[in-house]
Each structure stands twice: as C-alpha cells, then as structure tokens.
Structure 1
Amino acid sequence: MEMADWNEDKSYLSIVTAGSPQELKARRTACQKVLLEQLNVIPIEEWMSRVNDMHDRIAGTAVNICEAQMKEAGYGPPPCAYSFIVFGSAGRQEATMWSDQDNGLIVEGEPDGLKKSYFEAFGVMLSNLLEEVGYEKCDGKVMCSESLWRKTLPEWKQQLEGWMNQLEWEPIRYLIIASDMRHVAGSIALSKEWREAFHAGFVNNMKLSTAVLRNTVRHKATLNLLGQVLTERFGDYAGGFDVKYGVYIPLVNIVRHLSLLHGVWDSSTLKRLEHLAELGKYEHLEEIRRAFLTALRMRVNTPFTVQDGLLSSSDYIAENDLKNKQFMSALRESLLLVRRLHKALQRQLRSAERRQS
C-alpha cells in the first residue's frame, strides 16, 4: 500500500467521523489490523509515521467527542482557546501500537475560576475517554487530568522557568519530558508560544545543558566487559532483553541532549538527527540513525498480546529471537555504539562540571 493509498484507507479515514468512545475504539481496532498487515512489509520509518498518524487522528477526534460530552454534562462550550499537546513517544511521533497516555493542555489567557473548573473537568474526562479508547493511563501521571500538565499559558511559562532555574534531578526530568512536546489539537498559536518560551530558556544556558546531560548519562548496563549482551536474569522476562530501555531510550536521550544544546526545535528523533547533520559538527550521526531504526524495528516486533482488540507488550525481546545470529549481531552493534556515545557524554559531563565548579 503506497502512501497515497494509506491516506485513502477506509479504516484510517473513518476515525474522524466517530461520534462516541465506543465507535472510536472500534475504528482504532480496524485501523490497527491494517497496520499490522503492513508491519515489516514497508520501511520502518513509513510504518511508524502511519501508526502515529492514526494516534493523532484518534486524539483529535477524542478531543471533539469530549467537548460534546462537556456540553451534555452542562459545562457548555470551552470558555477560551486551548491546545491539546502530547509528550513522550507520541510527542516524538514514535508511539507504538501499545503506547500509553502522555499528554497535557495549554489554556489561553490568565487563570480564572471558570477556566479552572471547566478544564479540570475536561482534562479528567478526556483522559478517561482516551483510556476507554485503549490508551492506558500513564504511571508517571503525565496527563491532562493532572494540574502539573494542564495550565494556562502564563502558568506554563512560570512553571518552565521554575524547572529551568532549579537544576535538580526532578525538575530537569520534567523539563526533559516537556522537550518532546508536540501540538495535536486546538490552538496551534498557543503551542507555538509555549515552544518559544521553552527554547528561549536554553539559549546560552550552559548550566541548564549540563543539568540535562547529567540526567541523560543515567543508563543501565547492557553489555558485560567482554561485550556480550546482558539479558534479564530473573522474573517474567528472564532470558529476554529490554529493547526499550536498553537501546531505544538511550539513543533518544543522546539525540535529544544534542538537539537542546543546538536549539533544534523538532521533537522527532529522526528529524532532530537531520538538523544535527546540517550543522556538520558530529560524526556517527548516520551510525546513530541506523541504530535508532534498528531499535524501532526491534521494539515494534517484540511479542505482544491482544485483548479486546487492543495490543500490549512488555518491550522485551524474547529469548528465542536472541538466538538468531543476524538479529543478535545487529543488537550488539547498536549496543556498542550506545556504550561509546555514553562514555563520550560522561567525559563531556566531567569536563563541564569542572569548568562550572
């Protein structure tokens, strides 16, 4: 199926006409079926793009259904403009078929009682609606139902500034989550102004870049001293390998750090790599790109279960797959690159901390 055909696919197009959470879930399930048939048939970048187009359409439709439900519940229409935004893998356009919720709201203007009561109810209702459609609630509570991720634009600006000034582990972790923000529905102008405020805080701010780097170099060991892949020793996934936190997240983190350092606004890892390549400052970017695509491919091919039409996976590569020599060779090559980059970043961090002490 070519791109043009995908844009005309009935299951994909029908998402936006769903009028209830039940209808929306049914259309998501139908669309996923088509996408699963295309997995490993088309290039991984193209497949991920289609999966994330589906998620965006579902989110946009969920926002419309939620507005209608708010009217039915007696809240009336939204009291002002707002923007529905996503973070995490959705923000990077790298969400899998089983990704959970990572989202927030930007509300126009100064805070007041009406906005507070409307958007508090809206955020809770929207998060519940998305759960009904098949997006599990985020364990870390990065959702529009939480006041930390649902604010007016002035409140958001104040919060971002606070995180940037504290430079401690937790506020920097929030800032890193925020850096993957992407606009999905509502007022694009609000999202644009939010982004401008976010990136302005990084300009010529080496202390902030160093703090982000400090969070970035936290990483669990995936190879032993002999360069052999370390698999899980105990528990449900004994013998398996955690591809999400072993390869995918470390590469995402490294590329994000370099992007924030150089004022790259894009949230997608592949687009960030394109912009970094244009700077001509870094070797290994093509190697990182290849390793990243390998990590994506491995991640979407981890064993999954289907329940009520929805997919879930642990993000662990099964022990049997690790017995495949070609597969193991590609994994090991990616992990060796991650280890090299990681050591280089640790050296950078030590030298930055010496300069700043």
Structure 2
Amino acid sequence: METADWNEDERYLSIVTAGSPQELKARRTACQKVLLEQLNVIPVEEWMCRVNAMHDQIAGTAVRICEAQMKEAGYGLPPCAYSFIVFGSAGRQEATLWSDQDNGLIVEGELDGLKKSYFEAFGAMLSDVLETAGYEKCDGKVMCSEPLWRKTLPEWEHQLAGWMEQLEWEPVRYLIIASDMRHVAGSVELSAKWKEVFHAGFADNHKLTMAVLRNTVRHKATLNLLGQVLTERFGDYAGGFDVKYGLYIPLVNIVRHLSLLHGIQDSSTLKRLEHLAELDKYQHLEEIRRAFLTALKMRVNTPYTVEDGLLASSDYYAENDLKNKQLRTELRESLLLVRRLHKALQRQLRSAERRQP
C-alpha cells in the first residue's frame, strides 16, 4: 500500500505546519471532512491509503510539537536519536478515522539517567498531544507512555528475545502486536535495526511460528452449522455483526502468520499478500484479498458518531444494514473462506503438535 502524496492539497500540507495540539486537532477535523466526502467514491484501498497518510502526517507533527514542548518545559533537546513507531492498524496502514493509539519508542544506545528522565516525560507528553489531536489512549496500554513499549534498542533486543523464549499466550500476543511495527518519525536506522532483530528471531524458529499459529486459530464463531451469518443475540448490538473481530481481524491474523513464516517484513496486509503471491506456494490468495477488501469496506462504513469533530464507531454493522442482499452475500462468502482457512490451520497445528517429541 503506497503512501499517498498530499502535496497538491493545502488541507494536508497545513497539518505539518500546526503549532499546537489544538491546532493539529482542528486541521485533522478539516481533513477528515474531505476524506468522508471521498468515501465510497474511490476504491477502498486508495481511500485507506489517504486516511493513513493523514494519520502519519499528524503523528509526525505531534512528535515535532512534543519536542518543542519538552524544550519549553526545560528538558532541552532530545539527548540522542530515537524512533517513533506504530503498531496495530496504524502499523498495517489500515487505521480508520476513529482508530486509537498503538505506538512506541526506540531510543538509541544504552540507558542512562538523562535518557530515562527525558524519554519518560517525552512519552507521556506525546501520548497526551496525540490524545488532544483526537487519538484515544489505548485500553491495552500499547503506547509510548508505557515502559513496555518505550525502550532503548538494547532493551528492546532483550525484551524481544525474552518474549520469543517464553512461548506462552501473553508474550506471544506481544510479539504478534510487535510484528505490525512500522516506522513513522525519527531515526529510520533505529527502526530498521529493530525490524532486523525481530525477524531474525523468527528465522527457522519452528516452535515460535507454531506458538503464533496457536494464537491465530482462536476466533469467535461467525457462521452457524448451516453457513448462516451469526449476529449478536443480546446487548446494545443485538442483531448486528462485529466486522472488526468477526471478519477483519481473522483475515489479518491468517495473513500475518503466513508472512512471519516466510520472513516477509512488510506490515500492510495487502503488501503481505503480494509477497505471499510471489512465493507461488498458496492457493486462495486472490480470494483472501477480495475478502479482505470486503472487510475493509465494511469496517469503514460501520455507523459512527461525531463528537467535537471526532469520529467514534463500535465496528458493528447494524441489523438493518445487513438486510442488503449483496452485502450479506459478500459477507457470507468471506466468512466461509475464513472458516475453511481456520480449519486448515487447525489441522496444521494439530499435526505439528503430534510431531513434537
């Protein structure tokens, strides 16, 4: 997925000249309005590209604003090089207009007192700047304000090695989050070294890839025995369908697992599919791509609310929307594919576990 070039549009250029978090939020709001007008007018993959180009420009500007605020607060300039990185949907360049924060920091060199105090304050301040600009803080605390996701490169190397050795549910979950890492601002070299270390740990590591597969094959049931779409039975979303966890995330997880298996370093799901196709080893990749585009299209069209210029969505399709015959057919076909793929992966996992001594 290529990054869109916004240089021809002053609305996007204005993002990078914002001088405060409040100004950044106002320019984001103006930009979102333009993007919403383009939704369903251009192909969904191009629209997502534009949305994520906006997010990247906001994040890069937030980093610059934060550096200026740190200087004003008496911390001075950054004591060394650092990299601001993103995970989750932002890492995959699949963030919606209502995505929250999923980010971290890589700091150059060994940790000392000056770096510790500076980047602890910087991480907290940057998370606050992003929140003001419209990005809710992550419930799972995957943010540069948290020590787990803010480390020097040597500390990161140690932490990644530890996660790779443990092979338990929680450290493997952290590795899965980390696998979507993408550089956004700061030192490109630090991010590249981090990626090199991460993927070296997966190379020829059968136990680790099987541990990721174990996490991958867990998902909520989305079809009944007759192949009919299962909707929510109770609660606020009764009759609706969870697009994010019912369709989008299972496809992301399947493609990610195959990509890690083959050392593919791209974080975008569509780019990962392109690289997998080049291997000429897997069937159904074009079906997966079509299902993934359906998932993206459905996800960005879920009902949303607007408060103070910012969007929020539950990621559920309402019962009435699901009555659209074409949409329901596309959804059912995509879910049937996900079910077949999951069954194949479950068989692969059982076979691998039987072979283990």
Report SS of the residue matched to 2:151: strand
In 2, Cα distance between the equivalents of 1:201 and 1:225? 40
The SS at the match of 1:201 is: helix
Percent identity at matched positions? 86
Give deviations 1:35-80, integer Å, cap 9, x for gaps: 0000000000100000000000000000000000000000000000
Tell me, in whole angstroms, the C-alpha distance in 1 between the residues paired with 2:59 and 2:5: 22
Taking the aligned partners of 1:7 and 1:213, their CA distance within structure 2 comes to 42
Partner Cα separation in structure 1 for residue 220 and residue 4 of structure 2: 42
SS in 2 for 1:104: strand
Measure the CA separation in 1 of the matches of 2:138 and 2:284. Answer: 34
Alignment of 1:135-214 (within 5 A): 135-214=135-214
State the distance in 2 between where 1:129 and 1:328 align. 40
Alpha-carbon RMSD across the aligned residues, in angstroms, is: 1.0
1:6 Cα deviation from its structure 2 partner: 4.7
Is 2:75 the partner of 1:68? no
Give the corresponding residue for 2:333: 333
Q: 2:4 and 2:346 mapped to 1: Cα distance?
A: 45
Partners of 1:232 and 1:9 lie apart in 2 by 42
What's the counterpart of residue 19 of structure 1?
19
5+ residue gaps, structure 1, are none
* Native 8 Å contact 2:120 2:145 kept in 1: yes
Give CA-to-partner distance per residue, 1:62-106, whole Å, 9 cap, x none. Answer: 000000000000000000000000000000000000000000000
Distance in 2 between the 1:258 and 1:76 partners?
45
Structure 1 SS opposite 2:292:
helix
Displacement after TM superposition at 1:4 (Å)? 8.4
Q: Which residue number corresponds to residue 237 of structure 1?
A: 237
Give the whole-Å Cα distance in 2 for the aligned partners of 1:224 and 1:123. 45
Query: Once the 2 structures are TM-superposed, how far is the Cα of residue 7 of structure 1 from its aligned partner?
Result: 3.6
1:207-286 maps to which residues of 2 (within 5 A)? 207-286=207-286
Looking at structure 2, the residues matched to 79 and 336 of structure 1 have their Cα atoms a distance apart, in angstroms, of: 53
Q: In the TM superposition, what are the counterparts of 1:303-342 in structure 2 within 5 Å?
A: 303-342=303-342
The one-letter amino acid paired with 1:300 is: V
Q: Following the alignment from structure 1 to structure 2, what is the Cα–Cα distance between the partners of residues 115 and 153? A: 12
Structure 2 residue ranges without an equivalent (≥5): none
* Residue 9 of structure 1: aligned partner: 9
TM-score, structure 1 normalization: 0.98
In the aligned structure 1, how far is the partner of 2:228 from the partner of 2:13?
46
Q: CA deviation at 1:356?
A: 1.6
Partner of 1:55: 55
Between Structure 1 and Structure 2, how many residues are aligned? 355
Runs of 4+ in 1 over 2 A off after TM superposition: 3-7
The answer to whether the Cα contact below 8 Å between 2:131 and 2:137 also exists between their aligned partners in 1 is yes
Structure 1 match to 2:355: 355
In the alignment, does 2:93 pair up with 1:93?
yes
Instruction: Look up the SS of the partner of 2:35 in the other structure.
Output: helix
Deviation at 1:5, TM superposition (A): 8.3
Distance apart, 1:195 and its partner CA? 0.2
Distance 2:7 2:261 in 1: 36
Q: Map Cα deviations across residues 239-276 of structure 1 (whole Å, 9 max, x no partner).
A: 10000000000000000000000000000000000000
Residues 316 and 106 (structure 1), Cα distance of their counterparts in 2 relative to 1, 3 Å cut: same
Which whole-Å CA distance do the structure 1 matches of 2:110 and 2:4 have between them?
43
Q: Is the 8 A contact 2:51 2:95 kept in 1?
A: yes
Separation (CA, whole Å) in 2 of partners of 1:226 and 1:219? 19
State the one-letter code of the partner of 1:14: S
Which amino acid is 1:247 matched to? Answer: L
Q: Is the 8 A contact 2:4 2:49 kept in 1?
A: no
SS in 1 for 2:204: coil
Tell me the CA shift for residue 311 of structure 1: 0.3
Is the contact between residue 259 and residue 276 of structure 2 (CA under 8 Å) also seen in structure 1?
yes
Displacement of 1:350 in angstroms is 0.3
Q: How far is 1:355 from its partner?
A: 1.3
Kept in 1, the 8 Å contact 2:67–2:78? The answer is yes
Which range moved further: 234-243 or 6-15?
Answer: 6-15
